[in-house]
Structure 1
Amino acid sequence: MSRRCDLTGKAVMSGHLVSHSNRKTKRRFLPNLCNVTLQSEMLNKSVKLRISANALKSVDHRGGLDAFLKKAREEELSPVARDLKRQIAKAVAAAAEAAPAA
Structure 2
Amino acid sequence: MSRRCELTGKTLQVGHNVSHANNKTKRVFRPNLQVISLASDSLKQIYKLKISMNALRSVDKLGGLDAFLLKASDATLSPKALKLKRQVAKKVAATAA
Q: Do Structure 1 and Structure 2 share a fold, with TM-score over 0.5?
A: yes
Q: Runs of 4+ in structure 1 displaced over 3 angstroms?
A: none
Q: Write out aligned runs for 1:1-102 (5 A).
A: 1-97=1-97
**CA distance, structure 1, for counterparts of residue 63 and residue 96 of structure 2:** 20
Calculate percent identity across the aligned residue pairs: 61
**CA distance, structure 2, for counterparts of residue 4 and residue 76 of structure 1:** 10
TM-score for both structures, normalised by structure 2: 0.98
Structure number with greater Rg is: 1
- Unmatched 5+ residue regions in structure 1? 98-102
Q: Kindly provide the CA deviation profile for residues 10-57 of structure 1, in whole angstroms up to 9, marking residues without a partner as x.
A: 100001011111100000000000110000000000000000000000
Superposition deviation, residue 64 in structure 1: 0.2
Aligned residues: 97
| Coordinate RMSD, CA, aligned | 0.5
- Unmatched 5+ residue regions in structure 2? none
Greater helix content: 1
TM-score for both structures, normalised by structure 1: 0.93
